Structure 1
Amino acid sequence: MTAAPLTRRFLTEAARNPVTVTMLIVVPVVFVAVAAKSVADAAELLGGRGGAEVETVTAGWAAAFISAIAMYFQTRSARATDRRLVLAGLAPARLVTARLATGLVLALVASAAALVTLAARTGIGDVGRTTAGTLMFALTYLAIGALIGALVSNPVNGTVLVLFVWILDVFLGPAYGSVDRPLTRVLPTHFTTLWMMDLPSRHGGRAGDLGWALTVTAAALAVGWAVVALTSRTARPRRRSGQFATGLRMALRAAGRNRVLWVLLAVVPTVFILLAAVTTPAEYQSMVLREGGRDVVVRFWFPDAHPGFMAPVAVASLSALAGLFAVLDSRSGDRRLSLAGFRTRSLLAARLSVIAFGALTATAASLAVTATLFDPRQWGLYLAATTLIALTYGLLGVLIGTVFGRVGGVFTAFLVPFLDLGLEQSPMLNPEVSGLGHALPGYGATRILYDAALTPAFDETGPLLIALAWLAALALAAGLLLRRSTVRGPVTGRARPTAETSGLSPARSAGRP
């Protein structure tokens, strides 16, 4: 069997999952169409280039992120299936070629969606440079996704690490700051970004920025090949985690074994907040808030307030992921416990408690770092607002995971907090909240957070009621969905393999006798 038929089989499996195909197109389209202008404005505000050049690079960023996620799930989820194929006589080189080709095709779909959206939105000045740059972004991050997939087995940890690398690459890169920072030259797409923006670095030497970008891309492909070849020879069984006190103790014990997750819940908000602090320009900003029953313009020193404003974005994303994977990874075990006599309400209470514990861990780490950089006017209210955001998005993660599944859920769990808290609720980009911003789940809690950060008295009763209504509605919906997934559905005596032959859809027949 050559690599081509195997690649077609993997792609056919991926195409059978409508969520996969939809997310490959929708995520880059939404990112470029909705976020490109705001991202460019933020880059200029933080001392970067800004303008059309940064809007062009958003196509590469979108393709990079979705390529890394796609390759992560291919590398991680298909290990058992790939091993069986190799043991059955398939040449490892052909399998590796098929895997990389599948990842490349999926990345090309995402890249094409981003480029078409960019062309429709602003036009593309240099089609060749923009297209080539976007493809180099995608190829580089295919290797990053494969490498993380080989090293990190838990999907929560893996997807958070992908997000972590992507955030560092984007927000420390030349689009958001000086091109002469020596430490940023090790970032995976540093030279690709410079070349795509047509911004000579003067530190590329004789090879130039394009030469270094091509070198990094080629090295990334070599790493990706080696990693996929290695993982096709190994397979590890997955461990399942599964009367309130007993259920909570079992769930916490299972979660406690995942030490990397708890480290990530603490480290990612820390780095995100510190990154916001060091990249903030030294200038004053203004924001309209309620004070004494009327709207007032509050002027504040931006470097002091920015870390406090950015902390909820990291907290929301991590909380959503915690909720998403908590419901997906525990579904089968909870069904067996329910059949064994566990009361449904006890299982639900234990599961929701673990989700809340993960959200509060991210909140505590965020506030510990924030306290060293930012002093809100009302600390108690600021803590309450951040906690509201964490719990809201933790519950929203349960709904996202139930509706979109593992891969589509990861995309959505990153996209929704970014659009909501990072863009629509941002005082830097939207002095007045838009109609869409009012309808999003983060509106009420962020208005309370800004009020607590910049004013001495509480004046946001309406947003508080909105935030509590969101929290109650999401808790009810999450409880109903968890109950439905616990008491319904087939439960087999033996767990089926969870390998996904396409990396983005459940395994069907590939690798089975």
Structure 2
Amino acid sequence: MSGTQTRPSATGDVLRLLGRFMADYVRNPVNLLVLVVVPGVFVIVAAGSIAEAARLLGGSGGPAVEAATAGWAAGFLAGIAMYYQVNAARAADRRLVLAGLAPWRLVAARLGTGLVLAAVATVVALLALVLRSGIEAPMRVVVGTVMFAVIYLAIGALVGALVRSPVNGTVLILFVWIIDVFFGPAVGSPDRLTTRWLPTHFVTLWMVDTPSRHGGRLGDLGWALVWLGTALIFSVAVITATAGRARRSSRRDRSVSSWNRFVVGLRMGLRDWRRNPVLWVLLVAVPLVFIVLAKATTAPEFGMFTLVEGGRTVTAVFWLPEVHAGTMTPIAIASLSALAGLFLGLDARRGDRRLVGAGFEAAVLLASRLAVLAVAVAVVTVSSLAVTAAVFEARQWGLYAAGNLLLALTYGLVGVCLGPIFGRVGGVFVAFLVPFVDLGIGQSPMLRPQPPRWAQPLPGYGPVRVVLDGGLTVGFDTTTPVLVALAWLIALTVMAGWLLRRAPVPAVHSALGT
């Protein structure tokens, strides 16, 4: 009939929305780059070191752990990607529903987008594993990697629905992922009662073919499938609830006093952080769990560290349970500082543009932003050191604390530089990768007595040598590493200042032109 109009099919609506959502994701080339970089670095570069760390911490080590890195990489990518899918699009999704789109179609499109991203992350992670060492048990590794990605889709969706701030959401997902991976059955002991509640506990055991003997009648695969089904159901429920409600944002314009613009800029930056109580909880909880669990899960054996004592290079033997927590503290501090700097640089750009347009001097504005960063990394350092003091006895606390603070400032500035270059999603991935590769792999004294040559030019080399000098020796023998660290600090400060000053200019000229 020529006079009738055909109603768009449900499948067509879902596919069109899915295509739009995917187009929006791939519009940023950094997202595609990250899909390759994260599995490439984590699986190809770091798998061997992680397997060695697993052996030291009481896990199985070897090829089984290397295979599990594909699942870990896919899970991390899927969780962060789904977080931004849910968090950033909630207002747009709400408008689509109010405009008459059936909620279930929107939910299907969002979940479908997440599954497509999870599939892409899985394929890339598996290809990286093939390039590194091949796959000995293809069925277990492929299915296990898919399970990792889907379970972390649910985690990303839940955090995206509950946590509005990207700082909090990213740190929370990273916190869950670190606990799940580095204290799970592949890296640690598979028989710990306290880790059986981790989301990928049974998936990991089945994937690496290590029977748990505590899976009951369902077995490890059965419980893994239960987690998988629960994750899918939970994802649907979370996306449905998010699409059906929206929060009104309340913004208050407050006058800025003119007598001291630096103080105003500093106060404005600190006020945003003060209004975020979840962030302060995370700043305490992440070091607490990460450092204390590092102490509790270290295998009882000795390790050799290369240090400088009295101007001479010596190899010292330490009881690992006594020193492991102290060597893990820099990783926690650097990761949190990098994320804090990343979002500080990104969130300040819009307000900075208005302030510059209103006549706020760029130099004063830059100084206030860097002062806010200094306060943030100081809080990160103090909270981490307070936890470390309960489980580690440094030989020189002043030098040990100074090295950690230097590391925090360095990686806070790294985060500030990453934000304008990579944006939110890409910046989160890179802000995680850089300290992981630099500190967790390159500088770690747990993996090798001396950092390899490729790790010595990295920003963490100088501060970590200072941390080890203060934590494990009785003298100061790190003059050269301190100078290298200060050079990095100066260079990063200049680059961060250039990026922060550069961001407001286009918006101001555009506003004047209109």
Could you say which TM-score interval applies, normalised by the shorter chain? over 0.9
1-side partners of 2:129 and 2:444: how far apart?
Answer: 23
CA-atom RMSD, angstroms? 1.5
Aligned equivalent of 1:439, options 457, 472, 476: 457
Aligned residue number for residue 95 of structure 1: 106
Q: Deviations over 1:196-238 (max 9, x none)?
A: 0111111112211111101110001100000001111222355
2-side partners of 1:430 and 1:150: how far apart?
Answer: 42
2-side partners of 1:238 and 1:317: how far apart?
Answer: 29
Percent same amino acid among aligned pairs? 59
The answer to whether the 8 A contact 2:305-2:448 is kept is no
Aligned residue number for residue 136 of structure 2: 125
Aligned equivalent of 1:151, options 144, 152, 162: 162
Aligned equivalent of 1:107, options 103, 118, 127: 118
The answer to whether the 8 A contact 1:170-1:176 is kept is yes
2-side partners of 1:411 and 1:184: how far apart?
Answer: 26
TM-score normalized with structure 2 length? 0.94
Q: Deviations over 1:380-404 (max 9, x none)?
A: 1101100000000000001111110
**1:483 correspondence with 2:498:** no
**Residue 122 of structure 1, CA deviation:** 0.7
Query: Which range is displaced more, 60-69 or 287-296?
Result: 287-296
The answer to whether the 8 A contact 2:211-2:220 is kept is yes
1-side partners of 2:302 and 2:51: how far apart?
Answer: 19
1:490–1:345: structure 2 CA closer, same or farther, 3 Å change rule? closer
2-side partners of 1:233 and 1:430: how far apart?
Answer: 53
> What count of residue pairs does the alignment treat as equivalent?
493
**Secondary structure of residue in 2 paired with 1:2:** helix
1:465–1:365: structure 2 CA closer, same or farther, 3 Å change rule? same
Aligned residue number for residue 77 of structure 2: 66
1:491–1:75: structure 2 CA closer, same or farther, 3 Å change rule? farther
Q: Deviations over 1:253-292 (max 9, x none)?
A: 1221011112211221111100110011112211111122
Correspondence list, 1:465-476, <5 A = 465-476=483-494
The answer to whether the 8 A contact 2:399-2:470 is kept is yes
2-side partners of 1:411 and 1:194: how far apart?
Answer: 26
Query: Which range is displaced more, 46-55 or 479-488?
Result: 479-488
Aligned residue number for residue 418 of structure 1: 436
Aligned residue number for residue 8 of structure 2: none
2-side partners of 1:20 and 1:353: how far apart?
Answer: 31
**Residue 177 of structure 1, CA deviation:** 2.4
The answer to whether the 8 A contact 1:46-1:176 is kept is yes
Aligned equivalent of 2:59, options 17, 26, 48: 48
2-side partners of 1:323 and 1:267: how far apart?
Answer: 19
**Secondary structure of residue in 1 paired with 2:186:** helix
The answer to whether the 8 A contact 2:59-2:190 is kept is no
**Residue 50 of structure 1, CA deviation:** 0.6
**Residue 489 of structure 1, CA deviation:** 2.6
Aligned residue number for residue 246 of structure 2: 235
**1:5 correspondence with 2:16:** yes
The answer to whether the 8 A contact 2:303-2:317 is kept is yes
**Residue 239 of structure 1, CA deviation:** 6.5
The answer to whether the 8 A contact 1:25-1:109 is kept is no
2-side partners of 1:436 and 1:126: how far apart?
Answer: 33
**Residue 183 of structure 1, CA deviation:** 2.2
Correspondence list, 1:359-370, <5 A = 359-370=377-388
Aligned residue number for residue 223 of structure 2: 212
Aligned residue number for residue 453 of structure 1: 471
The structure that has the greater radius of gyration is 2
Aligned residue number for residue 222 of structure 1: 233
The answer to whether the 8 A contact 2:151-2:231 is kept is yes
Q: Deviations over 1:419-477 (max 9, x none)?
A: 11111000111222112111210001111111111111111111010000000110111
Aligned residue number for residue 149 of structure 2: 138
Aligned equivalent of 2:401, options 365, 378, 383: 383
Aligned residue number for residue 258 of structure 1: 276
**1:330 correspondence with 2:348:** yes
Aligned residue number for residue 505 of structure 1: none
**Residue 48 of structure 1, CA deviation:** 0.6
Query: Which range is displaced more, 454-463 or 176-185?
Result: 176-185
Aligned residue number for residue 184 of structure 1: 195
Aligned equivalent of 1:276, options 275, 281, 294: 294
**1:344 correspondence with 2:355:** no
1-side partners of 2:434 and 2:326: how far apart?
Answer: 20
The answer to whether the 8 A contact 2:356-2:508 is kept is no
> What letter corresponds to residue 298 of structure 2 in structure 1?
T
Aligned residue number for residue 506 of structure 1: none
2-side partners of 1:400 and 1:429: how far apart?
Answer: 28
Aligned residue number for residue 326 of structure 2: 308
The answer to whether the 8 A contact 1:298-1:454 is kept is no
Query: Which range is displaced more, 172-181 or 447-456?
Result: 172-181
> What letter corresponds to residue 307 of structure 1 in structure 2?
A
2-side partners of 1:107 and 1:186: how far apart?
Answer: 23
2-side partners of 1:231 and 1:297: how far apart?
Answer: 56
**1:248 correspondence with 2:266:** yes
1:490–1:63: structure 2 CA closer, same or farther, 3 Å change rule? farther
Aligned residue number for residue 480 of structure 2: 462
The answer to whether the 8 A contact 2:288-2:384 is kept is yes
The answer to whether the 8 A contact 1:336-1:491 is kept is no
2-side partners of 1:9 and 1:27: how far apart?
Answer: 25
Aligned equivalent of 1:36, options 23, 36, 47: 47
Query: Which range is displaced more, 159-168 or 345-354?
Result: 345-354
Larger RCO, structure (CA 8 Å, separation 6 or more): 1
Aligned equivalent of 1:162, options 173, 176, 181: 173
**Secondary structure of residue in 2 paired with 1:153:** coil
Aligned equivalent of 1:195, options 203, 206, 214: 206
1-side partners of 2:191 and 2:439: how far apart?
Answer: 31
Query: Which range is displaced more, 134-143 or 277-286?
Result: 277-286
> What letter corresponds to residue 278 of structure 1 in structure 2?
A
> What letter corresponds to residue 154 of structure 1 in structure 2?
S
**Residue 156 of structure 1, CA deviation:** 0.3
Aligned residue number for residue 501 of structure 1: none
Query: Which range is displaced more, 408-417 or 255-264?
Result: 255-264
**Residue 5 of structure 1, CA deviation:** 1.6
1-side partners of 2:46 and 2:197: how far apart?
Answer: 26
Structure 1 residue ranges without an equivalent (≥5): 494-513
> What letter corresponds to residue 365 of structure 2 in structure 1?
L
1:240–1:23: structure 2 CA closer, same or farther, 3 Å change rule? farther
The answer to whether the 8 A contact 2:396-2:473 is kept is yes
The answer to whether the 8 A contact 1:335-1:491 is kept is no
